[in-house]
Structure 1
Amino acid sequence: MKVALMLTCINDALFPDTGKAVVRLLRRLGVDVDFPTAQTCCGQPMINTGYLDEAVPVVRQWVSAFEGYDAIVVPSGSCAGAVRHQHGLVARRAGDPALERAVTETGPRAYELTEFLVDVLGVEDVGAYFPHRVTYHPTCHSLRMLGVGDRPARLLSHVRGIRLVELPAAEECCGFGGTFAVKNAETSVSMGSDKVRHARDTGAEVLVAGDNSCLMHLGGLLSREHAGMRVMHLAEVLASTEAS
């Protein structure tokens, strides 16, 4: 199976350790993963803001970078959701049958990380060790657009040493929402503060999620509150071992 890593823009620019963690994890599981250097943004920021015409060349570039792969692993529910559900909108808007065909072929091969681990590789115990009290926030796109369900919880439950505690009101949005946080800052902060309060109520040391965009928002709020709780991408927890 030919597998590629779609790192995502925010991970490439701000959270490169997440990408490194995905590579370590997949190699530990016997997967030889490629990193196509031609990859750029998936176009989600433009699409969400209504700039579908401007997103057309971005989607073309994405398809070109990832064509020929059997699976594309994405450590982000929002970006995986954009590829699977929004690229088709852009291609139809462009009126380009060739792009529509390419999107139809390539999009379904994009898997959010937990989907790839559980559904494609068929594993739930990835050999991780993380001796900390952890609570998990299911991000909106992974929960509602992709329907990842309990896959992340199943993977975390097999991590050795972990103490996984349920997050109250877990399915509520954290308030980030990409440009929503910019256009509606006060509402975004209020929603994030609710999520942070619930996380602190668990007594967890670490707040984990599958999207660094949400963790950036929540981590900033936790930092300003001097909460003593850190945030980590799920991939980094699953990549951890006793040796590390």
Structure 2
Amino acid sequence: MNYLITKWFGTFIYDKKGIKDKLLFPKKPEEISKRLKKIDKEDILSEEKKIVKNKKVIVNEKRLQELGDYKPSEPFFNDIEINPNEFGFSGDLLHKSTLLLAGKKVDENLESKDLQIVQMVNALDDLIQTSNLLSERIDSWSLIPTPENKIKPFKNTLLTVKKGIKLLQTQIDHDMHDIAPNISKIAGPSIGARLIAHAGGLERLATLPASTVQILGAEKALFRFKKEGAKPPKHGVIFQHPYIN
């Protein structure tokens, strides 16, 4: 019986006697990190497809089940130890490869559109707060006789802030239809964006139970409930939805 085993430095075909076939990866951090990334995403490597061709194998990884007989509890896999040094692969190479992979993951996360939504929602809230403060200041200032040239710069700033609010709202609506069309259709792009922002990202929002989603945005009220015994919040951001409010 043949067993397919993949390590960070290559993929191997084993039987009860030992290694029958092997395909080693290039000894470059960039190449190894690419393969580690594919494995992390549950993809099958080209080397794995190539080495298995016309062979019947047993696999213990779910991602490889289309290549062979999937037996995750097969004892044979627990007994196999493959030393990378025997094939010229050092621990330093693994270290460099994993660092490179981690850096790529961080970059991808920072560039993800749902995190851009989070930042835009936070920026929108900042602009709305600034707009309210400027409006209050201008209204208060207008109560006393004031030369127009003194108050005009603040009015111009307020107009600029309001333009920024409209631009952000438009961009949020556009991006939400792109990255979360279902949420946009059900909750609306504005409420959907705020749900993503309060959850900390689209993926995390998708994993939250309905009871938690219901009170997203009511964190302060929830804190008061736990600390002071006030009434628990029933709804958070979704209370703004016309079907609820």
TM over 0.5: no
TM-score (norm 2): 0.28
Which structure shows the higher helix fraction? Answer: 2
The answer to which structure, 1 or 2, has the higher relative contact order (CA under 8 A, 6+ apart) is 1
